[in-house]
Amino acid sequence: MTEPPPKKPPAARAERAAAAEAELAERYPALARADLERLAAGLVALRAGDDDAAARRTLTDAAHDLKGQGATFGYPLAGRVAGLLCRYLEGTSPVDPAVVGAHLEALEQIVRHRIAGAGGPLGQDLLCRLESLVAAGRKSR
């Protein structure tokens, strides 16, 4: 009976995992663009007066995908912004295109400037502003 090959040392596994994580983070902006385009298309439909189920589903699906990808690919700020948009879309009717547009713009900036991580104090300020916008949008409806 032959013995199994020796396991790689924990340091080597950790290095490989870190390298894989860095590669995924590098690919995130390219992957996110398709979802940002879906959000933009949904926003165009909203601005045209189409607050129907199809437009809302397009927006919600794209935001949900961005939320999950942000967490997976090392962009938690993008994930939190997209998560806030998901909650807004699922809990508000009719949807205010200005609120969706603000989230889309924030996500586009995060991706364009490759703001990985939590975004520091500016990221937290951005989240607070978006949360205030969502709260104001819900009150006016």
pLDDT tens digits, 84-96: 999 999 988 888 9
Largest CA distance in the chain: 74
Give me the CATH topology for the region 29-139.
Four Helix Bundle (Hemerythrin (Met), subunit A) (1.20.120)
Cα atoms in the 13 Å half-sphere on the side-chain side of 130: 25
pLDDT digits (tens, 9 = 90+) for 11-63: 777 777 667 667 767 788 888 999 999 999 999 998 888 667 888 899 999 99
Measured between alpha carbons, how far is 46 from 98 in angstroms, rounded to an integer? 10
Other beta carbons less than 10 A from residue 129's beta carbon: 12
Q: pLDDT at position 66, please?
A: 95
The answer on pLDDT for 139 being more than 80 is no
pLDDT digits (tens, 9 = 90+) for 98-128: 999 999 999 999 999 999 889 999 999 999 9
CA distances from 117 to 2, 26, 82, 131 (A): 46, 13, 14, 19
Q: Are 104 and 130 in contact (CB under 8 A)?
A: no
